[in-house]
Structure 1
Amino acid sequence: MTGPDILSAEYAADPFPFYREMLASFPVYRHPATGYHLISRHAEVTRVLQEPPFTNEIYAWQLEPVAGGRTIVQMDGEEHAYYRRLMGAPLRGSNFRERIVPEIERVSAGLIQALRDRGRADLREDYADLMPCEVVSVLLGLPEEDRSKFRRWFVSINAFMSNFGNDPAVTAAGLAARAEMTGYLRPLIEDRRARPRGDLLSAFCNAEIDGVPLDDRQIQAHCSTLIAANGDGTSATITYTLKELLMRPEHLRAARRDRSLIDRMHLEATRLNPPVHMLLRFTARDVDLPSGRVSAGSTVACMVAAAQRDPDRFDEPDVFNPYRAEIDPVRDFTPGGSIVHFGRGRHYCLGAHIARITVGIAVNQLLGALPDLRLADDADLTENGIFTRNLVRLPIAFTPAPRGATTAIWHKASRAGLA
């Protein structure tokens, strides 16, 4: 018997019936067309994501060409540990929240201002897609006047990494974006080496490995990794969280009353609809899992979207329940939680912390600024994507607010938020 075909049109339209079939009848199987070994049960996905002999070297093809060098995503062992400390330290510094949260709030407020007097908008195109690019720009300390150029590179690099169909135009655009960004960053790198500031680019420019500073190519690779960690995934997380709230008025009312619930809404929305549906690993030797053998030399696809609906791990797995016992906002934004689309163990996504802050602010500011936010009457909630997945659009409607009320609404949202 052959397991579900993840390249079929039916799978692309709605993968969740396929995941139920995997969990029940094909927990480990080889997909003939890709050669991948697909693993779907939560316990086995968790093991593969965090234990040897499974490694991340498989990602060399996906990110390195647009990063311009090896990235933390494909590293293991001591090399990975060092770079994780290097990249993670500036994101955990004592003044990080004080410095970054007001900037993300400012970005969110500016995007809301651009749409709030229209009465209608596409929350994905007009808001969710723009937030992560702006946030990465802030983290790197890029000049505000250059954000439009960076946004174009950001989109092209993220599209390159999801180009499983090998579209030559997408490949060409991604490589062109990398070349342009390399040229753009060169004078900024020189400036940050001479005059460091409080941004992440300065941290990269003044870091050392065994007393040797990072070269331009290594810095470029780290910038690209930051784009990968905060790109399509953050956009989809904002979109799906807002979709679930707008479809469920009782949860929307609860989130308006108690903004601390936004973390739970975020986690449950993306448990059901993760922005990444599979994470890849490689194994150089045969491995016996409880559900079957993975042969040496295999690419392993951890079907995290299936694992997060595994009935052996989650009660009523297809039901949206932000209060479920299996969800814990304290643990689930760490490498040891039940949510696995961020990865697990040493390869837990460095961008998860930023995503949590960004999504919390993005949802909180919208709830404060648009009191009668609702789905548009003609909303089409079509999704697309195989490796990553998102709504094509999220059409919303609301009563346009008087221009004079803008500042008061934003300040109220800011004070009530998660910052």
Structure 2
Amino acid sequence: MPSLWIAQWFLKRMISQKRSLIVTFLLPAIIVSAFMLLLHIGEQGPQRIEVVSRDHSPLAQYLLNSLKDDFELKEAANTNELRENVFDQKASAGFILPERYGDMLLQGEHPVIEQIQLGINEANIALKLRLEQHVQDAMRVVDTLKASGLQGNDLETRTADVLTEKSKGNVRAETTDFQLYVSPTLRMSMGMLLMFMLMSLMNAVSIMLEDKQNYTMMRTYAAPVRAYHIALGQFLGGIAFGTMQIAVVLLITRYLIGIDMSMTLLQQWVLLELFLIAGMGMACMLGSIIGNSEHFSRVNFFLVVPTCMISGCYWPIEFMNDNMQKISYFVPQRWVLDAMEQLAAGGSWSAIALHVIVLLLFGVVLLGIGSTVLRPATREAI
């Protein structure tokens, strides 16, 4: 098939460029792999938690004792020392128990425990869940004991005793942990990979524009092959280059480093290939608007970085306001990252069916708009 020969020729052109090979192929693999490795090592280390307790009631003491089983707990002298240790990364996180913590629980109020953290990781999320779970458990026990007629000091002492017995297993509720939490580092590391993939696709379209300016594309279309063979061949060449980039990164992260992605290789590969199609459409659309290869090389940065920013490639999507989160649904990166998080949380293909359909639509629509980039009749759009 002529398209395969053209794709092979186009792929060789991209690989033969030393700058393209290093900047958009080897460098992304190294950076993304190193980024994931550092985050993975950081999550596996001991988690030290600093605490400032402004309440010394039995309920507050029970909370601190229960956390010592899962965290390396250290009491700070004051809130300034706690914040300084967290910001200097001497502690993974910290929290401040408010005054009257025990009294608020006994009165049926929900005490607010201030948590200090520098970033989001599994330890911080686990700490937040543990603190919230303790408050909810204590409030339920208080309500039950109040109904039996206990009040005052007897109520506080009995509540602490029940919670202690519950933690020992003498009084326990049946709880099933489905491990449905997802490491926040998965989204950020995969977001960086999507950014580099999009940059590689922009480089492929830049070569197409250069061929159009130098009339190389016009001579190619004069060959005795159909026009769609040429267009399909160049498209497949760009996709093949991106596929090689995916293969190198996944090989290093999954098998050489051994990082658990919480999803199968096939699931991750399919989602990244779908993004390749959508990303190729984005690059072709921009190339059809900006027909000059030099201008295109300068402007594509302003498409890659902002779309990655609003889609949550660099930080959790929850950090953005509601309006920005709604806008993020108009870029394919958001759909890929959301699908990966759902799969990592134990979801199946049916759970991400909408994401797959949307990514395919992105590819079809954007490629349809950007198809003029492969027309040799005009050299520049602007």
- If each structure's strand is expressed as a fraction of its own residues, which one has the higher value? 1
Q: How high is the TM-score relative to the length of structure 1?
A: 0.23
Q: Bigger relative contact order, structure 1 or 2, given CA contacts below 8 A and separation 6+?
A: 1
Q: Find the structure with the greater CA-based Rg.
A: 2
